Homo-oligomer: A and B are copies of this chain.
């Protein structure tokens, strides 16, 4: 076990608490032989588990009594060295490290396959939710044509607080940090990159294609204004940080973005720090919901992989016989078709709605609803909220450019997709 932090501690705790249960499940004991952690103060705790504390991950790699290395260090430095070293030494690996697998999976998955070893990563996406094995195995006969996920509990907690209490972003973030849902540096969570890491992995498992992280359009939630959350709610929507991917047959459409989610989706009801994923395939829509982070939910996933290994299951890391997945052809993001929510600052004068409608129509954007919101500003500008029918981002951009050119647009337009 490399790293005895929150998740590592959860793994040790659950293994101890459910030792007899796990023996009933596998016929074996899963034993922590050694813990690599640089924090000497953890020695007593490690020794109380009957394990040895080591300060160098190389000792895990080279210990012949160790069958499986559980990597819970995080990051892409020492963790990468550990995983590659362990696989090269013939040890199975279990990890929760989505960043590493999203960025260096094309090195690590083929290595595990070449060695015939398990690279278990159930814990890396949606924590305790039984998602990855379901996609790779139970649902393996399905062609999933679309997946939608709320994959970051920190972002969802912040948006839930903003929605329920009308809190501004900064205050909700501070609360998330106080409650331990957000890290001191929350950038990966709130700017969408953590969600993007997970989406890169899900696209591989569900679509059997590889889309590099760098190709993925990613927009976070730090710019979300409670005003839009409120307006969205009036129309029956919740703003959620969404990972979406569609297999269009030949092209993949994928991205991470805050969106207005219709109350008709169960996803709109995902509260607080929960995660959820909706998979649309031959079996119809399936939703899986649960804790995406935290000590025991993540430990549950790590132990699920350890149990598979100790049962002697054959490795099925990516869910395909050939691990060299074809590179996805991405649809240009500006061609994504979606309904859209726009909040625009426009001059408060007669004929304004007509002119706005004309600019939209000139660009093939059809409006479903348009409503003036709030009072005019001092310089006689007013906010308009418009919901469009299905449009491409390109056409919306065209309409906005035209409005700007006609001097009908003040400030920066606010713009969300509607799901």
Contacts and interface: CB of A to CB of B under 8 A. Distances in A.
Interface stretch (A57-65, A227-235, A300-308): A300-308
A300 B283 contact: yes
Contacts of A303: 140-141
Interface of A: 14-15, 17-18, 21-27, 122, 127-130, 132-134, 137-143, 208, 266, 269, 281-291, 294, 296-297, 299-301, 303-304, 306-308, 311-314, 316, 319-322
Contact of A26 (B25, B133, B294, B321): B321
Given A140-B307, A141-B300, A311-B316, 16 more contacts: A18-B141, A18-B143, A25-B140, A25-B141, A25-B319, A122-B138, A128-B139, A130-B130, A130-B286, A138-B304, A140-B303, A281-B300, A283-B296, A283-B299, A288-B288, A311-B314
Give the number of copies in the complex: 2
A294 B282 CA distance: 11
Give the secondary structure class of A's interface: mixed
Contacts of A321: 23-27
Instruction: Choose among A137, A284, A311, A312 the residue with the greatest number of B CB atoms under 10 Å from its CB.
Output: A137
Contact of A301 (B138, B300, B316): B138
Given A25-B319, A266-B269, A139 B314 contact: no
A130 B141 contact: no
A287 B128 CA distance: 11
A311 B300 CA distance: 25
A352 B165 CA distance: 42
Nearest to A133: B138
Contact of A140 (B142, B290, B304): B304
